[in-house]
Chain A
Amino acid sequence: MKHEDRSDHTVSYRANLFLWFALLVLTGVTVMIAGIDTGRSGILINILVASIKAGLIVYIFMHMKYESFLLKLMLLMTLFTLTVIIVMTFLDTLYR
């Protein structure tokens, strides 16, 4: 299925509920990971899980799945900008 502009699409109650349940499970996973692994990898896994949750919210709740290519591109550009800022800051602070 590859339709570009389907921004009038209605997300069903069922899909909303399903996503809510997935987010609850992922929240449980986050808390569990924090309980088991308190090392350095724990925080990385937690950021990864948080990013999956954020991605799902953007994709379904915020309707990005059905938006135009332009809007998707705009979102990617913003995330890219943020990533560049973060990487450049760490290149500075880590190698001072």
Chain B
Amino acid sequence: MDRSQTAGRALEKHVDYTGSKMGMWLFLFTELLFFGGLFLLYAVYRSDFPQEFYATSAGLDRTVGAINTLVLITSSLTMACSITAIKKGETKSAVIFQLLTIGLALVFLGIKYYEWGAKIGHGMYPGSDALLSAGQGEIIFYSLYFVMTGIHGLHVLAGIVLIALMIRMTLKGIISTHDFVRLENTGLYWHFVDIIWVYLFPLLYLIG
């Protein structure tokens, strides 16, 4: 490869870097409006059924919700650290931090599984007889709870797959201290998922 080709490559990469980050942000904007719609639904029904939302929210386990918040915030830290590591050229730490992020994400989903399991064990799931015999506000609250935490959980699951792919790429050297935009974009996605939970936790668990 002669010199002009190398220069061309470098230039192409620079443009690509800004473009791919912007592309990721555009995707996150659509995600924001998507979750925004769900939060709007929550807000409107909450103003329609304040007492019912209040009472039903008390039925959720606050401690479990708080622990999950800590888990997710810590996973955001390890994700951010993996990017710091790769930029500094510390490939091994970058991989370890990504593994830790996946580990914490799995803990989050495990806790969610336990939580959903307890609710479903009590016959509280969308369309169940126990839930349908409850008041309208309670039905709406639980429906929103399952839909919002469910879709958020799917995002966590997608994040795990994405980070696993990033680990593979880091090990193969595709992601390196010279080219790390994929890892950065995965980080953006992961922090976004964390932000959604930052709002879900007080709105679902702490209003009772």
Contact = CB atoms under 8 A, between A and B. Distances in A.
B198 interface: yes
Of B188, B191, B202, B207, most buried by chain A (CB within 10 Å of CB) is B202
Of B21, B187, B194, B206, most buried by chain A (CB within 10 Å of CB) is B206
Contacts of B191: 57-58, 61-62
- The bracket for how many chain A residues form the interface is 35 or more
A20 B97 CA distance: 15
Contacts of B147: none
Interface residues of B, number: 46
A45 B199 CA distance: 12
Contacts of A41: none
B25 interface: yes
A86 B83 CA distance: 35
A71 B40 contact: no
A20 B73 contact: yes
The majority secondary structure among interface residues of chain A is helix
A86 B22 contact: no
A53 B201 CA distance: 12
A50 B74 CA distance: 16
A63 B184 contact: yes
A9 to B, nearest CB: 9
B114 interface: no
B66 interface: yes
Interface in A20-48: 20, 23-24, 27, 30-31, 34, 38, 42-43, 46-47
B173 interface: no
Contacts of B33: 78, 81-82, 85
A30 B63 CA distance: 13
A60 B188 CA distance: 11
B81 interface: yes
Given A61-B191, A89-B40, A93-B47, A34 B84 contact: no
Contacts of B208: 38
Given A19-B77, A93-B44, 7 more contacts: A30-B201, A43-B202, A53-B195, A54-B199, A74-B29, A82-B33, A82-B36
11 contacts: A7-B17, A16-B80, A23-B76, A34-B206, A46-B206, A50-B198, A50-B199, A57-B76, A61-B79, A79-B32, A90-B43
